[in-house]
Amino acid sequence: MTERRGLSPVARTALAVGGAGAAAFAWGSLVERTRWTLRHVDVPVLPAGARPIRVLHLSDLHMAPWQQGKQEWVRSLAELKPDLIVDTGDNLGHERGLEGIRRAFDAFQGVPGVFVNGSNDYFGPVPKNPFAYFAGPSRLAPRSRRLDIDALHGYFDELGWVDLDNAAAALEVNGTRLEFFGVDDPHKGYDRLDVITGAIDDLRADDPLADETWPDEASVTVKRPTLTIGVTHAPYQRVLDSFVNHGAQLILAGHTHGGQVCVPGFGALVTNCDIPRRQAKGLSVWRHGLRSAFLNVSAGLGTSIYAPVRFACPPEATLLTLRAAA
């Protein structure tokens, strides 16, 4: 008589873990990475009496020309009729990525916007060891190809969007003066925090309602709400601290992908910069010294074409409704 033996407990456990891992990978690579999500956030940051402002925050599209589903989903966001678009970089994910960006963004013609660069707007993606991110922020691979960032900027200029790379600018939206300052990609060290003070001073010197340039004929009863916004691709602490020191009341960033592969109930495992993991995505408050600012970090809409997977971290755009503080 032959005795049949089943799998040992260790083998059964190994099979169960392997099966769960395979299922999670299949979900993350085939389903979740294309579950584009719109996150709605209210931010009580405007001065009393100011009209609400709806800001569409886009980030980290990592666009390739064949990604038509993503392009159509982004196009559909124009139906929201945002008052302003803030793009925090890493738009390109392929040498022909601008083709997809054009198809996605042409629907935003006429909507004011601002933008900064991410590292992947300069350099194309290459295969990387995903476990290297646990050792700290990624570095530029020597075989990375340069992308046509000038063409990207030319297209944004066609849209009428304002370049905030190591620069400051102002827009009036719904009766509120929005003072922006931003930096080029901190992940590659292209940020020039030392020029921000001068850029802001120059911006305010050109403001006819600033105290030092107030026109004699203007009524002193004129009141104009003002909001200061900092924009960066990568939310490194040195940048966030500097932005708060320069008076930012709201900071918008991307880069982290929200962790991209997260653990349910735990969150991001890595951030690819030095921001705390708990602030890898979503709205929080960044404090430095005695000052603070609202911080929105977008989990982004894409991934590298060489790492097309997300888990417990769906791709997202954010519609922020800026409101008067109570």
Per-residue pLDDT of 161-174, as tens digits, reads: 999 999 999 999 99
Q: pLDDT value at position 224?
A: 84
Q: pLDDT value at position 173?
A: 98
In a domain, 2, yes or no: no
pLDDT at residue 16 above 80? no
Q: How many domains is the chain built from?
A: 1
Distance CA 275, CA 238 (A): 10
Q: Which of 5-14, 17-26, 154-163, 197-206 has the lowest mean pLDDT?
A: 17-26
End-to-end CA distance of the chain: 82
In a domain, 4, yes or no: no
**Where does the pLDDT of residue 25 fall: very low under 50, low under 70, confident under 90, or very high at 90 and above?**
very low
What value does the mean pLDDT take over residues 37-66?
A: 98
In a domain, 188, yes or no: yes
**Where does the pLDDT of residue 137 fall: very low under 50, low under 70, confident under 90, or very high at 90 and above?**
confident
Structural domain for 288, as ranges: 10-324
Q: pLDDT value at position 138?
A: 78
Q: pTM here?
A: 0.88
In a domain, 243, yes or no: yes
Q: pLDDT value at position 11?
A: 45
Domain at 205, CATH number? 3.60.21
**Where does the pLDDT of residue 12 fall: very low under 50, low under 70, confident under 90, or very high at 90 and above?**
very low
Distance CA 225, CA 235 (A): 27
Q: Which of 90-94, 151-155, 284-288, 306-310 has the lowest mean pLDDT?
A: 306-310
Q: Which residues contact 203 (CB under 8 A, 6 or more apart)?
A: 168, 169, 170, 179, 181
